[in-house]
Amino acid sequence: MSYLQVSLQVLLFLTFALGGAYRFFQPIDKLAKRMLWVTYFNPRIVRSIALVEVICGIGIIIPLFLPDSSFAFILYSGCLLMATMIGAVVTHACIGDYKQILGNLLLFGMLYLVTFPVI
């Protein structure tokens, strides 16, 4: 494994697992003050998205600890997180929160590089 891929895996783990845990445990009204998209969704949906981010964030980093596993953790976690980022781009475009789209696309690109390595 290249150092770039390992670095991206750790960075994606920190972004999604820790960020998702933050969104999962914070009260909805506090999240709504910081994130515009939260006000457009049912609180259960917000919690579900956060839970998916935590689980998939952990799935991105598991192969570093279980290199001989026959289950494709990175493939499934990466594809689900890429679908989540596409949904985030569409959501931000629909609600007019355009400044967030670039960050979502950057995360999508990093996920693509980790999920489908060039080498």
Question: Strand, helix or coil at 69?
Answer: coil
Residues of the chain with pLDDT > 70: what percent? 98
Mean pLDDT of the region 70-96: 95
Mean pLDDT of the region 70-78: 91
pTM, two decimal places: 0.91
Q: Give percent helix, percent strand, percent coil of the chain, each to the nearest 5.
A: 85, 0, 15
Q: Which helix (H) or strand (E) holds 110?
A: helix 101-115
Matching residue, tokens 């979502």: 104
